[in-house]
Amino acid sequence: MFKAKGLGAKIIGGYLVLVVLIAITGGVGFRGIDKVGRSLVIVGEEEAPVADMAMEMVISLMAAQTSMDDFQAATNALGSTEEAALASIRTNFQEANEAFDTAVQAVLNGGRFGDVEVQATRNPDLAVLVERVAELHDAEFQTRAREMMDRGQELIDLKKARDAKMDALEQVAGRATEIGSRVEELVSGEIRSLADQAGLDADARAILVEEVPLGDLANELKLALANTRILVEEIVQTTDPRELDAIRSEFDAEVEHFDLLAGLIREGGQFEGRPIVPTDNPRIVAAIGEMEAGHEEFQAVVADFLSSHLAMIEAHVAAAAAMEGLDSATDQAGGMLERVEDLAGANMARARGSGQAAIRMSVTWIIVTLIGGVVLGLTLGILLTRSITRPINAIIRSLTGGANQVDSASDQVSQSSQLMATGAAQQAASLEETAAALREMTAGARKSAEVTRKASARATAAGESAAAGRKAMNDMNRAIESIQDSANQTAKIIKTIDEIAFQTNLLALNAAVEAARAGDAGKGFAVVAEEVRNLAQRSAQAASTTTELIQGSRENAENGVTISREAAAILETIVDGVQEVTGYMAEISRDSEEQVRRIEQINTAVDEIDAATQSSAASSEETAAASQELSSQAKEMKQAVGTLDGLVHGSGSGLTRSSGSGVSLSRGEDWSDPYAGIDAVLEEARMLEV
């Protein structure tokens, strides 16, 4: 039954089996991928965001804790406070709490947290734990935080009041210190006055000034006041109530010491085993009274300051206690959030394990189906190959003979075409090179003709310029001769001036002689004659100098005439030479034009040769004959292909002889043997060979 099927049915059946195997494999793979996808959805869209929200809650809790640490540091009793910084800290704390609440709502009810879409958790244990964390955050953490911020604000207010009282205390202490310095100056002045009145020497006065007990008391009084101020500064720097009590005891002792010293100065008594004589200086007594009043005011201000400082310390202790409660709440919430992270991680691990199991199952089923498909495909392939290749091989042998004949004819066509193509290519290349050389020669000849025409024009222009130069040189020669004539005439005039100067000089000498003879009456005339003589001499000198210059000009003019004549002769020679060159250039130009005309004739001849080369296609007759042979072989191959077509359509077709040449297929005969078509093809091949 399988052998009776046609080629198309066999191929389609094989493809259908392969499609079924692929569908089975795809179904198994899709089922596994679906399970893996659901596991990935659980991990990626449910459990991973929950774990992220747990981490966000931890981060928000830590951010709020950090804000409270910053708030505590900003409201420290010993440090400075900036209101702007506190406002920023409160804002950060509020934002952290809002982020915590958003993360809690996202885990319990679903929603968005930033760019992340979170689904509500389906784990009841995780939901209960998150609710407990939220209750702890609202009831303990935020309550402690608000209490700590209230205490911190109270501490800030108390600190402001204490600082104001500290400023007042500084003013009172400053006034008391000024009074103490004045008392010391008054006591020192009185000691110096007593020493001067007693008439003691310098050493005795020095001892008196250094050892008088009253001066020592004044110094001690001032020192006691300074010690009280130092103790006040220590009070400001402490927040420990026990240390504060010790400092207050020292402060009270210094106050008693101050009162003792003031009483000794005013009333006298014993101090460290030495008798103290009270002062009778009313100014010192008044200053001591003023100092005691200022010290009492100082004590009152210190008492008020201490009460404010104690209240601030109590507020600081309360804030620290609130911060400890906040830390405890943070630790509890952090522990719960760690459990939330552990639960979310466990859920992710379970989902991941389910996905991995689905992957292993899918891989197993895919491998099994692939092995089965491979075995079944190989079996079908072998059967199909055996039922198809045997008849086709016989047809191929029949087609091979025709293909050989076609190949032989093709070789003949190829050789003929190759010879013709080679000859045409060589001839075309030679013609191309000849045409290129002729084009270059034509371009060169045209360029030479153009250059020759330009050179001829330039030579003609040079001849005209030389002729103009010759005319200009003749004009210059005539001008130099005119200059020479003018110089000769000027020399004659200068000679006349020289003679006039000589005659004037003689007349001046005669006039001088006559004036000398006239005596005193001729002195004025003698002076005039002397001046005339001087002028005559100067005229003679000028005439002599001018004569020398004119003589030099005459010589230069003569040289110029000689040189201009020589230059004129040279220009005459140049003009003749240029005219001769112009004639030569005209002849060269005519020859170049003739050469260009002849080269153009050669180009025309080459074009005619190229046309003759194209007509050599007459050799295509051989190609046409070979093509006819190929056509005949193609018909025989067509008949063999018809036989192959009958084989492809199955056992319902038979071999019949057509009215024409070759073999054709008929549907009417029943072949009991599916390989009978091969025998018919072989018989047809033998007939074709005969």
Quick: pLDDT tens for 412-453: 666 666 666 676 667 667 767 777 777 777 777 777 777 777
Put residue 277 in one of left, alpha, beta given phi > 0 → left and psi -120 to 50 → alpha: beta
Mean pLDDT of the region 572-594: 76
Which residues fall within 8 angstroms of residue 426, CB to CB, at 6 or more apart? Answer: none
Nearest alpha-carbon partner for 69 in 323, 342, 249: 323
In angstroms, the CA 280 to CA 288 distance is 12
pLDDT at residue 209 is higher than 50: no
For the chain, the 3-state helix, strand and coil shares in percent, each to the nearest 5, are 90, 5, 10
**Cα distances (Å, whole numbers) of residue 683 to 651, 661, 663, 665:** 19, 14, 10, 14
Range with the largest mean pLDDT of 189-193, 391-395, 468-472: 468-472
Using DSSP, state whether 280 is helix, strand or coil.
coil
CB of 499 closer than 8 Å to CB of 543: no
**Mean pLDDT over all residues of the chain?**
69
In angstroms, the CA 530 to CA 291 distance is 121
User: What pLDDT sits at residue 303?
Assistant: 74
This prediction's pTM: 0.34
In angstroms, the CA 265 to CA 226 distance is 18
In angstroms, the CA 472 to CA 571 distance is 10
Question: Which pLDDT band, with edges at 50, 70 and 90, does 269 fall under?
Answer: confident
In angstroms, the CA 151 to CA 146 distance is 8
In angstroms, the CA 525 to CA 508 distance is 10
Token pair belonging to 206 = 């020095």
* Surface-to-core class of residue 337, CB atoms within 10 Å of its CB (0-12 exposed, 13-18 middle, 19+ buried): buried
User: What pLDDT sits at residue 682?
Assistant: 46
Question: Which pLDDT band, with edges at 50, 70 and 90, does 77 fall under?
Answer: very low
CB of 105 closer than 8 Å to CB of 111: yes
How many Å separate Cα 32 from the centre of its chain?
Answer: 49
User: What pLDDT sits at residue 255?
Assistant: 76
Q: What DSSP string runs through 431-479?
A: HHHHHHHHHHHHHHHHHHHHHHHHHHHHHHHHHHHHHHHHHHHHHHHHH
Which residues fall within 8 angstroms of residue 440, CB to CB, at 6 or more apart? Answer: none
Q: What is the dihedral of CA 253, 255, 261, 263, to 10 degrees?
A: -120
Please state, as a whole number, how many other Cβ atoms lie within 10 Å of the Cβ of residue 441.
15
Fold of the domain built from segment(s) 429-619? Helix Hairpins (1.10.287)
Helix runs in 75-141, H state only: 83-109, 124-136
pLDDT at residue 657 is higher than 50: no
pLDDT at residue 35 is higher than 70: no
In angstroms, the CA 100 to CA 121 distance is 17
In angstroms, the CA 162 to CA 309 distance is 6
pLDDT at residue 604 is higher than 60: yes
Using DSSP, state whether 354 is helix, strand or coil.
helix
pLDDT at residue 534 is higher than 80: yes
Mean pLDDT of the region 501-526: 79
* Surface-to-core class of residue 257, CB atoms within 10 Å of its CB (0-12 exposed, 13-18 middle, 19+ buried): middle
Quick: pLDDT tens for 299-321: 777 777 777 777 777 767 776 77
Quick: pLDDT tens for 359-375: 677 777 778 777 877 77
pLDDT at residue 474 is higher than 60: yes
- pLDDT greater at residue 513 or residue 325: 513
